[in-house]
Amino acid sequence: MASTKIPLKLLDPDGGWVNAPVHVSELDGLPVLLHFWTMDCEDCAGQFEAVNQWVVDFGPRGLKVIGVDVTHSETELRDTNKVEGFAREHGLRHPIAMDDGSMARVYGVDKHPAFLLFGTDGLLKNRIGGKDAVRRVRALLKNLPEGERELSGQISDAEEAQLPASP
């Protein structure tokens, strides 16, 4: 997907945050990875190890990883304990927005897992979904040079065929 004019505008999630809140102003000039998932999605849970590794590997290069746990009932949105426990169980230490579905709707996410990559200009650069998304996202993140903070590039079908399998 080519860069589009979809800006990164985090909504204040109805359910609040787990691990730490994030404000849009903190993201100025940084590449951002939004990871949309649900607690009952097996494919999502299978990607958490890779996402945790990206925080370690690419955080020092400026990448900000933000999880978005989607589709909570009104009762769940008032109680972060369940998501906090789930995050602990899976080693998720990056910020996680508890979404009632409104953030997913704003960004057009209707399937999980889904990754949205935003460049330093705050615009959406890539949207990648499905259980094989980790492999494709990793290839894009590897294009994030040391000391630079821009995420760019596309993966051609030929390049994608050459990528190693997911971890």
Per-position DSSP letters for 62-123, written without gaps between them: T-EEEEEE----HHHHT--HHHHHHHHHTT--S-EEE-SSHHHHHTT--SSSEEEEE-TTSB
Report pTM.
0.80
pLDDT at 87 over 50: yes
Domain ranges of the chain: 37-123+132-152
Amino acid 100: pLDDT: 82
Reported confidence tier of residue 6, pLDDT bands at 50, 70, 90: low
- Hey, what CATH topology would domain 37-123+132-152 get? Glutaredoxin (3.40.30)
